[in-house]
């Protein structure tokens, strides 16, 4: 059984084949359409899946946004062109002729990382710091999705009541401070127009403004982790996403966390599946649900 796994993010669309031994092959990646109207996303998806024709027996998708019964709605329209009630599952089933399961990207990644850690932990929380900030919560070995599939949208808990407006319409969300987009949006003067990847590179070279933007992000994620520890008593945190996995980022979060009272301490790991956590999680979830 081969699963065509697809990860739809605010910056990139990734796809790969995952076999029954959970080996990944034929990984491809294209940019997320800048204005992801339904037609643009559908076109990009058609392009992405064409490579895999005849190679898979099912499709498993990890996607940014609230994924309720196969239907995608952007919580933060800045991240995905304001898609509202987009029939993702039905669209991909039509494009491929295969059965398809769809899950939020961070929920999927949480499932993959939990499966990897399950001998050690039953309570695992995944945080992606990427275009946005997303989350997936596993409690007692079960993935928490919630009655409206909204569970885990921890990027939209408040970090600063006086902070910037978030694309979701709420003030001072973690995502508005810590995400790749927020890091880029905070850049001024000589850093204006730079993206998060460029800002991280400049921080490594000693640029003070870049270092402050990265530290501000890490600080918001540290406080989010402390809140999650108090709320869930989670046994570990797994960090993913291109910002979360960037060199030195986890260490900064850990250093900040170590300054808080001990009750808030929790081990923080980098995603075992690195940038493939969403792909692997979607595939493992479809296997678990036996789609
Ligand atoms: P997606 O959100 O589509 O899943 P990513 O996890 O790659 O994609 O996150 C995209 C964000 O990560 C962008 O803001 C991008 O600038 C930033 N980014 C990409 N590579 C790096 C890097 N090496 N270091 C820091 N930030 C990065
Ligand atoms: C946003 C939200 C979440 C998603 C998170 C990370 C949208 C479109 N997405 O908070 O559903 O899990 O971003 O997404 O509202 P990524 O694109 O950064 O991977
Ligand atoms: Zn928000």
138-189 residue pLDDT tens: 999 999 999 999 999 999 999 999 999 999 999 999 999 999 999 999 999 9
Q: What is the ipTM of this complex?
A: 0.99
Rounded to the nearest angstrom, the distance between the alpha carbon of 17 and the centre of ligand 1 is 22
Enumerate residue ranges in the chain where pLDDT < 50. Answer: none
Q: Which ligand is nearest to the CA of 176?
A: 3
Closest ligand 2 atom to 83 CA: 8
3-state SS string for 73-91: ECCCHHHCCCCCCECHHHH
Q: What is residue 80's predicted lDDT score, i.e. its pLDDT?
A: 82
Q: What is residue 290's predicted lDDT score, i.e. its pLDDT?
A: 74
Rounded to the nearest angstrom, the distance between the alpha carbon of 112 and the centre of ligand 2 is 17
User: CA triplet 138, 102, 41: central angle to 5 degrees?
Assistant: 130
Give the C-alpha separation, 17 to 96, whole Å: 14
Q: What is residue 174's predicted lDDT score, i.e. its pLDDT?
A: 98
Give the C-alpha separation, 90 to 72, whole Å: 11
Q: What is residue 291's predicted lDDT score, i.e. its pLDDT?
A: 55
Q: What is residue 36's predicted lDDT score, i.e. its pLDDT?
A: 61
Q: Which ligand is nearest to the CA of 168?
A: 3
Q: Dihedrals φ, ψ of 85, to 5°?
A: 55, 45
What pTM was estimated for this model as a whole?
0.98
């Amino acid at each position: 059984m081969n699963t065509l796994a697809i990860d739809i993010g605010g910056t990139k669309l990734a796809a790969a084949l995952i076999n029954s031994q959970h080996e990944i092959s034929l990984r491809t990646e294209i940019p997320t359409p800048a204005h992801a109207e339904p037609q643009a996303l559908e076109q990009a998806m058609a392009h992405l899946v064409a490579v895999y024709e005849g190679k898979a027996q099912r499709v498993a998708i990890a996607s940014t946004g609230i994924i309720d019964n196969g239907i995608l709605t952007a919580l933060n329209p800045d991240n995905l062109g304001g898609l509202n009630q987009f029939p993702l599952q039905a669209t991909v089933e039509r494009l491929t002729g295969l059965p398809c399961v769809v899950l939020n990207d961070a929920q999927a990644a949480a499932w993959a990382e939990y499966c990897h850690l399950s001998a050690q932990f039953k309570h695992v929380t995944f945080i992606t710091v990427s275009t946005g900030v997303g989350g997936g919560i596993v409690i007692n070995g079960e993935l928490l999705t919630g009655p409206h599939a909204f569970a885990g949208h921890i990027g939209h808990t408040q970090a600063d009541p006086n902070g910037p407006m978030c694309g979701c319409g709420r003030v001072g969300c973690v995502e508005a401070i810590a995400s790749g987009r927020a890091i880029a949006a905070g850049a001024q003067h000589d850093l204006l127009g730079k993206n998060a990847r460029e800002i991280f590179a400049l921080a490594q070279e000693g640029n003070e403004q870049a270092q402050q933007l990265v530290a501000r992000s890490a600080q918001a994620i540290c406080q989010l982790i402390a809140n999650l520890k108090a709320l869930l008593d989670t046994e570990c945190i797994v960090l993913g996403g291109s910002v979360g996995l960037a060199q030195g980022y986890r260490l900064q979060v850990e250093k900040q966390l170590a300054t808080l009272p001990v009750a808030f301490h929790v081990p923080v790991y980098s995603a075992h599946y690195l940038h493939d956590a969403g792909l692997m999680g979607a595939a493992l979830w479809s296997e678990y649900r036996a789609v």
